[in-house]
Structure 1
């Protein structure tokens, strides 16, 4: 994605990341492409252009962009106009433009094309659902949210390796583990509660660190996993038990088969003398559609009196009741995600489809509009649990 000249683009004050190559062309990130398109939409709107004149307007040519970048800006602009029409209930026009977006983009293309493709499909499904039209076939290669828990708990090599190839996953995971280790290493009996254990591989790191703590080796480590897939959790428990045996750590694994909305304190079987640590990796956002249940879960956590609660969670204002606002917020989030996937995995890597399935698919379950946004959610945690250390590892929100 290159630009022949910086002059007109820099006049837009986009504060964009760039790298000047030997041929003095500008490499633009996907988020920068989105910013350019959004600025162009503002310009068109201020001049009272209608939708179709916006599409065929020559104004983009004045920016001095290369042909490839021009095409990408035009494609994003097409998507933005489609979203504006949907917000204004111009459904027929929005559907026509979304069909163009889908025809001109690819789920296996460059990051801009992939973002436009997925968003166009989602907006089209939104229109169809609102008008009672059943989609002919689902084209999006996202993971069905109903089986997302199974996918994230799958010990297959491709799932594990995909997670390990993404730096933001490593940073959030190791930061959380270190926070727990620092808080529990001086205790003999440790009860770790995990609201979404996935493959459980993160806790092998904690076990090794506890064993290496010669001053106070644990007398017993108990992990309680919360989830809806009993078979998967039992498989995780067997692997962790086997690993603990190799390290000679007294270990027990408990399961709570329940949705987070129906958790209560009595399910955890906490014992006197145990220090409790709670770990929640990108799980609490699923309760934003049910603020009362989120409040209830926080109260349960408080009643367990943990010495530490580690929350790795999303941060973006994508849960607002105004459609176009959370659309734009989510668009920039996915632009950053797809740039990251492109850099860390590459467009033709065998595991890229897995990563797209996980990071696109996990966002498609809860779409219920609610007034509760991230800041309200964070405030509730802080207000209700002042005695708990919160490690908020910031990431953008997939809650579109």
Structure 2
């Protein structure tokens, strides 16, 4: 479908949407939870990392709309069998070439610094080579291996590789319940890792804390982590995104803006020149993306009778949602756009009924879901109800932005390795986009990312709610609700590239088409997916 009109990015860039949030004070004592990652439940994956852990047949045997069968938490984790290679052998697809050319040789010739993920790949290669030698012992730094890449590392890179190698070894010991030996490796990591230094050290620091927490959970012996000792964990978590930390990350990192501008453009493509447009935001957060929508609609040639925005809210966040609505109403008024903001107050955002949407005759409906559906699948009945109710209003488009990850494995070692790579890319992006002493970065890493990492690594069963799934898993899930993908228009891809060009880190952020969907990554590591859907009507 040809776009009816485009977001005028030049004009929108001249207008600073963050001016709408001038009344938000830089108060580090009360901050909302930055939106970097989200949680997902145990949806069976169509393609596990080795394509043989969870078979397609296992997923297809489920009832098409019975979500309760899709999330069966296990109280006990699946631990690695004897043999260190289990930690890595099921993850070969993450580093396709763990040989002498596993890292680009041109980087060594030009002395270009290796990325966090490239460091992890080298450490994984060393781990595999070391493990095959069946050498026991505590100190392993001098073990020989043949990759030429190692001989060209700088002093700092060599230290980082050894640090990740120790972390992998500690994780393997935890997986085999060799907790005493694992603790020794973690103490070694603690001598080097820091939450204020390089991205590798920060990553290892928080993963080590998570492994300590897992050991405590397994043994029943509580050992306070540094985060608990400093009181950082006691900071108030947030649900909304209109706070200084969220806005700082939104401006510094390209990911959210790419997802939002492209998603809004997809909505514009579908609603076309409709005179009555009804937007439904399942989890509105800051609402910054809707300023672009409001401006674009106000500039279209056809007369708009009403642009309505319904935002879900619970009692805990209704005040923040209300403030977001007032800012958007003020902006719409300044553009003389007929705009209505409505709060749908629910005890739980999934406990909604068709009539509560208040969809009027003649309205073209669009549903926006940014990193929220994945937080609900651990409660399958609630998600099922939400999807069924959405289907009854038959929206012209559903925009879904999610974390692209595979954190659902019941195997601890698989989950740990996935976390190492995906969060390695996230810490690398923060290093490139924010200074090391940035207070907002400290909050993002020390509270939000640390909590997600700990939940993935340290917990099992119902307590593990941080469960990212990949795009193919979402595809299988949505198909069971009678949904089909909508292909992104050229204008959507134009918006994604236009947004990216405004960031100095543009060359590191990757945009790739996956079927009809968009994958946003960092230096080749997928981090986010953006897809658009509609219900099939016969």
Q: TM-score, normalised by structure 1?
A: 0.85
Instruction: Give the drift of 1:146.
Output: 7.7
User: Contact 1:318–1:373 (CA<8 Å) still a contact in 2?
Assistant: yes
Instruction: Give the drift of 1:387.
Output: 5.3
Instruction: Give the drift of 1:94.
Output: 1.7
Q: Report 1:124-139 matches (<5 A).
A: 124-136=212-224, 139=227
User: Contact 2:407–2:468 (CA<8 Å) still a contact in 1?
Assistant: no
Residue 43 in 1 paired to residue 129 in 2? yes
**5+ long unaligned stretches in structure 1:** 1-8
Residue 274 in 1 paired to residue 363 in 2? yes
Larger displacement relative to structure 2 (362-371 or 200-209):
362-371
Instruction: Give the drift of 1:309.
Output: 0.6
Larger displacement relative to structure 2 (364-373 or 230-239):
364-373
Instruction: Give the drift of 1:196.
Output: 1.7
SS in 2 for 1:234: helix
Question: Could you tell me which of 167, 170, 190 is aligned with 1:102?
Answer: 190
Counterparts of 2:454 and 2:198, CA distance in 1: 26
Counterparts of 2:105 and 2:275, CA distance in 1: 49
**Structure with the larger RCO, 1 or 2 (CA within 8 Å, 6+ apart):** 2
Larger displacement relative to structure 2 (203-212 or 307-316):
307-316
Corresponding position of 1:196: 283
Counterparts of 1:205 and 1:119, CA distance in 2: 38
Q: Report 1:1-400 matches (<5 A).
A: 11-16=99-104, 19=107, 24-50=110-136, 52-55=138-141, 57=143, 59=145, 63-64=150-151, 65-136=153-224, 139=227, 147-150=237-240, 152-154=241-243, 156=244, 158-214=245-301, 216-228=302-314, 229-256=317-344, 257-356=346-445, 360=449, 363=452, 367=456, 373-374=469-470, 375-386=472-483, 389=486, 392-395=517-520, 396=526
Counterparts of 2:442 and 2:117, CA distance in 1: 21
SS in 1 for 2:401: strand
SS in 2 for 1:190: strand
Instruction: Give the drift of 1:230.
Output: 0.9
SS in 1 for 2:239: helix
Show CA shifts across 1:13-63 (max 9, x none): 315486457xx4342111011001111111111111235143553559983
Show CA shifts across 1:342-388 (max 9, x none): 11223234542244357615736965559994333331113314356
Counterparts of 1:132 and 1:53, CA distance in 2: 28
SS in 2 for 1:276: strand
Counterparts of 2:116 and 2:358, CA distance in 1: 48
User: Contact 2:291–2:331 (CA<8 Å) still a contact in 1?
Assistant: yes
Counterparts of 2:105 and 2:331, CA distance in 1: 44
Matched residues, number:
384
| Structure (1 or 2) with the greater helix fraction | 1
Larger displacement relative to structure 2 (342-351 or 182-191):
342-351
Larger displacement relative to structure 2 (176-185 or 28-37):
176-185
The Cα RMSD (Å) is 3.1
